[in-house]
Amino acid sequence: MSIPGEAPLTPAYRNNEIRERLYAQMALIRRFEQQILDLFAAGELFGTTHCYIGQEANAVGIINHLVPRDIIFSSHRCHGHFLARTGKADLLMAELMGRATGLVGGRGGSQHICYENFYSNGVQGGIVPTATGMALAEKMQGTGAIATVFMGDGTLGEGLVYEAFNLASLWSAPILFVIENNRWSQSTPVEKQLAGSMLARGRAFGIDSGEIESTDAEELYNYFGAIINKVRREQRPHLEVIHTYRLCHHSKSDDMRPAEEIELHRQSEPLPKLRSRLSQEVADRIDEEACAKVERAVIWARQQPFPSPVKLGTGSTAGVFNPSAGHGTAPQV
């Protein structure tokens, strides 16, 4: 009997369609991230951002196995996961530009987005038990949906992660914990902030745990198909560590890692790896489409209005000592 949402495993090395899809998603993520770094440099964007350059294969390797009802909870470094899930470069671009038609109307920006069953938040650790609760709610309501939560090696320093592991295992939450070990927690190398084993952290809680060192999108795609089917079928948690590398700054203009180390990892970049398995013609077309899509997103986003401060109010009433003064506003003096 098939489980709702369970995808048949595809022999991806023989499937051009999937190869092209994975490459196209990665090309979109890469182009998008490069574009926003340029826009920051040009002073067109507010605040900060955390790019996914170098880690694209993880998002596409996992997310293509998920069904629409499945939940994704991502972190500060969420653009890649979001674009792999939805392809909505225009809505994300408008959000980064702070526009009213952005994903969350300019309220969240780069780190705090929501679209259908995709969520992200910018404080480390707290999203992990929240995603666990979401997975349990789906299980209790019998929807067949599972949750996937993305965290980095740095997040493993937060105690709340282990409360979530314990609860997820104890109550059999259908959730995939993905640790993208990009080896650097902001400016701190993993060996200066993490003791012991990442895998043993999951196993100590009775969670099936595995690891893979790869920047090969097809390899990751094939690897994760079985894992996601297992989470869905067995309705219990699984933890997976992907050893990867961030080729860009932590946020922006803050990269002080050794140049030779970055150069070394550049040789196993995910995009050229997969590109080499496509025909030149197909790869060029995909690259052009990604550029054009991001270009259209920028043009569209620039035309969007900023949110009106008059509409501050929907959604929050706390702290209002004078309800008649309107939601979210201080008492009028």
Partner 1 sequence: MATNVLNSLNTALHKMLSEDPRVVVLGEDLLDPYAGAFKVTKGLSTKFPERILTTPLSEAGFTALGAGMAIRGLRPVVEIMFGDFLMLAADQIVNHIGKYRWMYNDQVRVPLVIRTPMGGRRGYGPTHSQTLEKHFIGAPGWHVVAPSPFHEPGTLLYRAVLEDDDPVLFIENKAMYARPVREAPAEGRLGDFHARTTSGTYPTVTLSFDSFSRADVTLVAYGGMAELAETAAEQLLMREEIFCEVVVPASLSPLDLDPILDSLRRTGKLVVCEEGTRTAGWGAELIAAVSARAFELLHAPPLRVAAEDLPIANTSTLETAILPQLEDIDQAVLRVCANSRRVTTR
Give the residues lining the site for partner 1 (CB under 8 A).
Answer: 71, 103-105, 107-108, 112-115, 119, 121, 123, 125-138, 140-141, 160, 163-164, 166-167, 170-171, 314-323, 328, 331-333
Tokens 């052009």 locate to 288
Which has the closest alpha carbon to 69: 168, 135, 24?
Answer: 135
Q: How far is the CB of 295 from partner 1 (least distance, A)?
A: 26
Amino acid at 158: E
Nearer Cβ to partner 1, position 42 or 318? 318
H-type alpha helices, the chain:
16-41, 56-63, 79-86, 89-96, 127-140, 159-170, 190-193, 198-203, 217-234, 259-266, 270-275, 280-303
In the numeric block, the tokens 């490069």 are attached to 34
Tokens (6 digits) for 258: 């050794």
For the bound state, the minimum distance from the C-beta of residue 231 to partner 1, rounded and expressed in Å, comes to 16
Whichever of 54 and 237 has its CB closer to partner 1, that residue is 237
Cα angle 112, 115, 121 (rounded to 5 degrees) comes to 20
Comparison of 147 and 247: residue with beta carbon closer to partner 1? 147
For partner 1, the closer of residues 35 and 120 by Cβ is 120
- C-alpha distances (whole Å) from 300 to each of 100, 102, 140, 210, 307 are 12, 11, 41, 42, 15
Beta bridge partners of 181: 243
Considering the complex, state which of residue 141 and residue 267 has its C-beta at the smaller distance from partner 1.
Answer: 141
Least distance (Å) between residue 325 CB and partner 1: 9
| Residue keyed to tokens 């369970």 | 6
Q: How far is the CB of 181 from partner 1 (least distance, A)?
A: 23
Shortest approach of partner 1 to residue 74 CB, angstroms? Answer: 13
Spatial CA neighbour of 201 closest among 239, 151, 175, 245: 239
Provide, rounded to whole angstroms, the least separation between the CB of residue 289 and partner 1. 29
Extract the tokens encoding 308. Answer: 């009106």
Residues 128 and 164 sit within 8 Å (Cβ to Cβ)? yes
Please, what is the minimum distance in Å from the beta carbon of residue 100 to partner 1? Answer: 9
